[in-house]
Amino acid sequence: MAKRLTTRDIPALWASGRRGHAAALSTDGIDLYSYNQRIGTTIDGRKVLAEYRAPWHYISHTTSKHVGMAAKVADNLIHPTYFKKCFEEEV
């Protein structure tokens, strides 16, 4: 029987390029989502995470927790305005 994923498992899956979903945090291996908000992406194999936490751009307590977990595996943590300008226009 397969192990049930928890939100704490998802950042590691994102870091290794694998899919996973648990509660409100999910990844397709390329992008990382908190609810339906893309909070991270992969550029040239590097994991880029938007700083969706106070004081930069607070969305919710849960999204802040997701960013905190993912920050441990991200290669770059950038300001949300820059993230949106560079990466959200691609969607």
pLDDT of residue 86: 80
Q: Where are the domains of the chain?
A: 7-90
User: 16-45 pLDDT, tens per residue?
Assistant: 999 999 989 999 999 999 999 999 999 999
Number of H helices and E strands in the chain, helices first, is: 3, 6
Mean predicted confidence (pLDDT) in 57-79: 93
Instruction: Report the C-alpha gap between 23 and 86 in whole angstroms.
Output: 27
Instruction: Return the higher-pLDDT residue of 44 and 91.
Output: 44
pLDDT of residue 89: 57
Contact predicate 17/29, CB 8 Å: yes
- AA letter at 51: E
pLDDT at 84 over 80: yes
Which residues are CB-neighbours of 52 under 8 A, at least 6 positions away? 34, 37, 39, 58, 59, 63, 64, 67, 80
